[in-house]
Amino acid sequence: MSPKLPVISGEKLIKILVKKGFVVRRQTGSHIILQKERIVFSVPNHKVLKKGTLKSILNQAEISIEELINSL
């Protein structure tokens, strides 16, 4: 059984992703575009990310829920 997804803000998630080697490329409205090599995706800069959005970002960034929780 995998651990429960934490409630996290877009800003906090971006800080964690930057520590993991992602680079902020640009911002379009409330969405911040991050990149690492050929992986490119956007993170909404919201106070609370929806569970589906967070899970999708983690899948795209190839980061497990455990890695995210350990980085908090």
Give the C-alpha distances (Å, rounded to integers) separating 26 from 3, 4, 20, 58, 62: 32, 30, 18, 19, 21
In the predicted model, is pLDDT for residue 72 greater than 80? yes
Q: What's the pLDDT at 1?
A: 66
Residue at 27 is within a domain: yes
How do residues 6-59 score in pLDDT, each as one tens digit? 999 999 999 999 999 999 999 999 999 999 999 999 999 999 999 999 999 999
Cβ neighbours, 10 Å, residue 69: 13
| Burial of 36 (C-beta count, 10 Å sphere; 0-12/13-18/19+) | middle
* CATH assignment of the domain containing 39: 3.30.920.30
The pTM score is: 0.93
Q: Scanning the structure block, which residue is given the tokens 């429960």?
A: 4
Total domain count for the chain? 1
Domain that holds residue 17: 10-71
Residue at 3 is within a domain: no
d(CA 64, CA 4) in angstroms, rounded, equals 11
